[in-house]
Amino acid sequence: MINKNEKNKSFSIGCINLSKKYAKKLGFATIFNRFKTKGQQLSKYVTGLISHKLHFNQSINHAGEWINQPHILNELSISKFNVKTLYRALDTIGRHDKAIMTLFQRRLNEVYNFKDRDSNFDWSSITLFGQKTRLGKKGYSRDGHPSKKQITFGLAEYREPINIPYVLTIAAGNVLDKQHFFKTFKRSLKALTEDSLIILDRGANTQKNKEDIRKYKHHYLCSSSFSKHVDLKINEFDKKKILIEEDEKTKKKIFCLKYKDVDEYKYLYFSEKLYEDKMNRIKKRIKKKIEENKDLEKKIKSSRKYKKKSYQLREFIATESLTLQRRLINLTQKQLTKKMFQEAVTGREGFFLLNSSKNLTPNEALHNYKSRNSIEKLIDSLKNVIKVKPVRVWTDTEIKGALLIGFFAQVIISLIKYEHETLRKLHPKTIIESIRNLTLTIEYKQIFVQNRIISNIDCINRFIFGQNGAIT
């Protein structure tokens, strides 16, 4: 019952309405409620946590305090609860992550019926600041914290023009991309159609992974490292190069040599722009080294003598000394630059190699692989816009549950961009800011009577809510 003496309330409603809209569209009740049969429905807690994730980057305790406000509880149709309930909800989601992902994929394709299911795969890591979880291991850090433990996660998305993620897998922090691949691939199988093209980067390109893709009747396209055989192809490249693309602005050209090696098609590309960039980087590196060598030469030739230093290391004595290479003295700067340049250039500058099990044209292979940058943007959005890091829970299952909440928040943003072509080029942060600005003011007139006033409507949130009457 509404108390007529209650004060009017204004609060952000955009993230709540958005979460409720897509919770209904994606069938969260069907996906989540089977895993919690007593008390409040699990789907309502999931909707509340996604709303909180879109609006804040705060702890689960903060989420509990925020949701337990009377006006938020009313909007989400939830009764007041203890904050520990949210931790139990995350634990439940994490324990059933495989089943939840399968149910989500089925519902996604029932609603949108995607025809082209070619997919981009990629992996990244998140730093952990807790010590209890078994998933936390030291490994190659993408977050710039090599001394910290981390977890790795894998994503798969339908490639452009869809660009919607449909798989999330989580593994220990020391698992390499090539080892993590099969877990992500296996989790994606029910969401793929036969002969789907899987696009990978070089880190996941192994013979076993490619054989697994072919075993399940799919195709792959991936970047590859160079071998001596490829060097031979580079040597004969000028005789067979074919122009496939020219940039209208820079007039830089790309050439390709396509050939078949056993049962795999290989595409050796030469990019004038890539060649120019690589050579410029080499020149800058050489210039920097020469400047460092000049400083070193000045120190050695200075009147102040350099004293040898000795260190006692258990049974050994280490002596430190400083010497000047004769090359620095005998060669002029021009000669030294030329010599260093000759040593740095390998002959592979400007070249890159793609492999595929599918017989694509050079243009198709290049375009498909270039479109893979969308999943890198997706990972950036997940980490820096949705902000799944830092992970503020400590057990394995709660970590999986927390990352799944972030994953579904990202799915919603991706679906917005898919459904509204006008918004596709906007950065996710711009869309979320517009949604957060949408404000609901509740005026309490008398018992059972209230006015609900929506404000801060702009062209973005009008696209998202206004066309289907979601702003009420």
Report the run of H or E that residue 369 belongs to, with start and end: helix 362-370
pLDDT in tens, 15-70: 999 999 999 999 999 999 999 988 899 999 999 999 999 999 889 999 999 999 99
Rounded Cα–Cα distance for residues 435 and 465 (Å)? 9
* pLDDT band, residue 468 (cuts 50/70/90): very low
> Does the pLDDT value for residue 275 go beyond 60?
yes
User: What confidence score (pLDDT) does residue 6 get?
Assistant: 66
Q: Are 125 and 142 in contact (CB under 8 A)?
A: yes
Mean pLDDT of 140-166: 91
Rounded to the nearest 5 degrees, what angle is found at the Cα of 239, between the Cα atoms of 233 and 245? 90
* pLDDT band, residue 107 (cuts 50/70/90): very high
User: What confidence score (pLDDT) does residue 240 get?
Assistant: 62
User: What confidence score (pLDDT) does residue 394 get?
Assistant: 80
* pLDDT band, residue 1 (cuts 50/70/90): very low
> Does the pLDDT value for residue 398 go beyond 60?
yes
* pLDDT band, residue 445 (cuts 50/70/90): confident
User: What confidence score (pLDDT) does residue 245 get?
Assistant: 76
User: What confidence score (pLDDT) does residue 192 get?
Assistant: 96
Q: Tokens in use for 408?
A: 């579904």
Q: What's 169's DSSP letter?
A: E
* pLDDT band, residue 469 (cuts 50/70/90): very low
All residues at 6 or more sequence positions from 430 whose CB lies less than 8 Å from its CB, including other chains? 460
Residue 347 Rama label (left phi>0; alpha psi -120 to 50; beta): left
User: What confidence score (pLDDT) does residue 252 get?
Assistant: 85
Query: Which position has the higher pLDDT, 233 or 304?
Result: 233
| Cis status, amide bond into 161, omega within 30 of 0 | yes
User: Which residue type, as a one-letter code, is found at position 433?
Assistant: E
pLDDT in tens, 340-385: 888 888 888 899 999 999 999 999 999 999 999 999 999 999 999 9
CA 307 to chain CA centroid, nearest Å:
52
* pLDDT band, residue 8 (cuts 50/70/90): confident
Rounded to the nearest integer, the mean pLDDT of the chain is 87
pLDDT in tens, 70-79: 999 999 999 9
Q: Which residues pair with 268 in a beta bridge?
A: 257, 353
> Does the pLDDT value for residue 116 go beyond 60?
yes
User: What confidence score (pLDDT) does residue 388 get?
Assistant: 92
Rounded Cα–Cα distance for residues 190 and 153 (Å)? 19
Q: Which of 138-142, 213-217, 332-336 has the lowest mean pLDDT?
A: 332-336
Q: Are 254 and 374 in contact (CB under 8 A)?
A: no
> Does the pLDDT value for residue 189 go beyond 90?
yes
User: What confidence score (pLDDT) does residue 152 get?
Assistant: 95
Q: Which of 126-140, 215-229, 316-330 has the lowest mean pLDDT?
A: 316-330
Query: Which position has the higher pLDDT, 5 or 380?
Result: 380
User: What confidence score (pLDDT) does residue 159 get?
Assistant: 95
Q: Which of 310-314, 405-409, 419-423 has the lowest mean pLDDT?
A: 310-314
